[in-house]
Amino acid sequence: MDFDFRAANPAEMDAFGELTAYAYGGAFGYGDDNLAQTATRPEWTLCAFDGPRLAASYATLPLTARANGNAVAMGGVTTVATAPEYRRRGLLRAITKRALEAQREAGQSVAALWASQAAIYQRYGYTSATAQIGYQIDSVDLQLLTPASESMRVSRGPVAQLMPEIKALYRSFIAQRSLYLHRSGPLWQSNVLNDNGGTHPIRAAVCRDETGAAQGYVIYTLVDGRIDHRARNQLLEIRDMAALNLDAYRALWEFLGKHDLVGRISWQRAPMDDPLAELLAEPRLLHSQSHEGLWLRLVDVATAMAARGYQCDGEISFSVGADTLTPWNDGSYRLTVSNGIAEVARISTATEISIDRKHLASVWCGRHRLSTLANWGLVTGDPDAITHADILLATRTQPHCPDHF
């Protein structure tokens, strides 16, 4: 059977929405509330058609992510679905190969997605790049070892009024980090500001120092009757939180702890290197859990390695194993960083390090160090070169992406 691989046209977006609603059990909504249909432009899609019938869907959102201080164009892969009657025919592989070629042509040197099943996307070269830490703590258990300074003041206000300050704080907070997204209006709305049809009013508070300068924020919901506790039955759910310094971070948590009727404060999108456990008198009462986060793939190795930020100068050579989906990446490279500017060149000589594209993506974003992968037997190379590469490829923070797409 021959399939037509192409973008859906506007008249076909109803079918696009119906397929994703069916495949994901309504996770994207239904009808007019279907985000896959209403928030996806036809030109972002790449689908498989059996005559007029939509057999498989796929879309790439044009995103920008941080990469250790630099902005990098990212293809945000979403709404991937195949109708059950067309599965096991290789449609997703065929679409993925075409999509990677299109992403490369569009200058998107990395691709990322939220995986419905890890096994599917590991076949296509994706690696687990982030994890989200979930906290659930009673407000009475939020006892800090060291209080915030009295100069820090946290105050609430209308969300619309605070958003200019909050957006500026977010931009400052993510500037030197990795995999945080440049948030467009739709990303803010779907991930942070969605009030679930008015049932969960959005609240916001900003922390300011003695000069009045904003140093951090928290966006949250506060709902009664969600916790089985006779004195504290409210649930406070953090939607988003960022602080430019530790004092502001402490002050925001002190503010949250003053909600005396809250029996549970929940934050399910904390980064892997969040410091809260180090600040609490009894960190086990956070009931921390780690959840799988974003999955990442390098689309164009040379462009991606040159585009991310570096904290020191140096040079390494490495070879990347064969990849049938992106054969243009096969081969050997020399990465040279001088005055913070990276250049990547193809070479034909022997290299110091050998790595596959999946684990290179993990190193690129800072999820794993080369030496860790080498200790596991997943990377081979000269030990001294691997030690040097650890220094050259180090990131300031662990990668994190709190935003679904």
Interval 348-387: pLDDT, tens: 999 999 999 999 999 999 999 999 999 999 999 999 999 9
Judge whether 352 and 385 are in contact, CB under 8 Å: yes
Torsion sign (Cα): 245, 249, 252, 254? negative
Rounded to an integer, the average pLDDT of 118-147 is: 97
**Helix, strand, coil share (%) of the chain residues, nearest 5:** 30, 30, 35
- Per-residue pLDDT band at 29 (split at 50, 70, 90): confident
One DSSP character per residue, 155-183 reads EE--HHHHHHHHHHHHHHHHTTSEEEE--
Give the whole-angstrom CA distance, residue 255 versus residue 230.
Answer: 22
Residue 17 confidence (pLDDT) above 80: yes
Q: pTM (2 decimals)? A: 0.95
**pLDDT (0 to 100) of residue 34:** 85
d(CA 110, CA 126): 10
What's the distance, CA 346 to chain centroid?
30
**What gap in Å lies between CA 386 and CA 200, rounded to an integer?**
50
When mean pLDDT is compared across 29-38, 50-59, 169-178, 336-345, the lowest value belongs to 29-38
pLDDT score recorded for residue 28? 82
Q: For residue 144, give the 3-state DSSP assignment.
A: strand
**Lowest mean pLDDT across 127-136, 189-198, 323-332, 377-386:** 189-198
Q: What is the pLDDT of residue 236?
A: 98
Mean pLDDT of 298-304: 98
pLDDT tens digits along 142-184: 999 999 999 999 999 999 999 999 999 999 999 999 999 999 9
Q: Return the number of other C-beta atoms located less than 10 Å from residue 224's C-beta.
A: 10
Q: Residue 205 has what pLDDT?
A: 98
Give the CA distances from residue 185 to residues 7, 61, 182, in Å, rounded to whole numbers and listed in that order: 24, 14, 10
Average of per-residue pLDDT values in the chain: 96
Mean pLDDT of 123-145: 97
pLDDT digits (tens, 9 = 90+) for 265-287: 999 999 999 999 999 999 999 99
Yes or no: say if 83 and 19 are a contact pair by the CB < 8 Å rule. Answer: yes
Instruction: Kindly state the average pLDDT of the residues 250-260.
Output: 98
Residue 86: is its pLDDT beyond 90? yes
Q: 74, 112 in Cβ contact below 8 A?
A: yes
What is residue 310's predicted lDDT score, i.e. its pLDDT?
A: 98
Question: In this model, does residue 1 exceed pLDDT 80?
Answer: no
Token pair for 374: 């080498």
Q: Are 353 and 373 contacting, i.e. CB atoms less than 8 angstroms apart?
A: no
Q: Which domains does the chain have, with CATH numbers?
A: 4-108 (3.40.630.30), 132-291 (3.40.630.30), 299-392 (3.30.1050.10)
pLDDT band at 33 (very low <50, low <70, confident <90, very high): confident
The pLDDT > 90 percentage for the chain reads 95
How far apart, in whole angstroms, are the C-alpha atoms of residue 274 and residue 250?
A: 12
Q: Looking at residue 383, what is its pLDDT?
A: 97
Q: Which of 244, 115, 229 is nearest to 168 (CA)?
A: 244
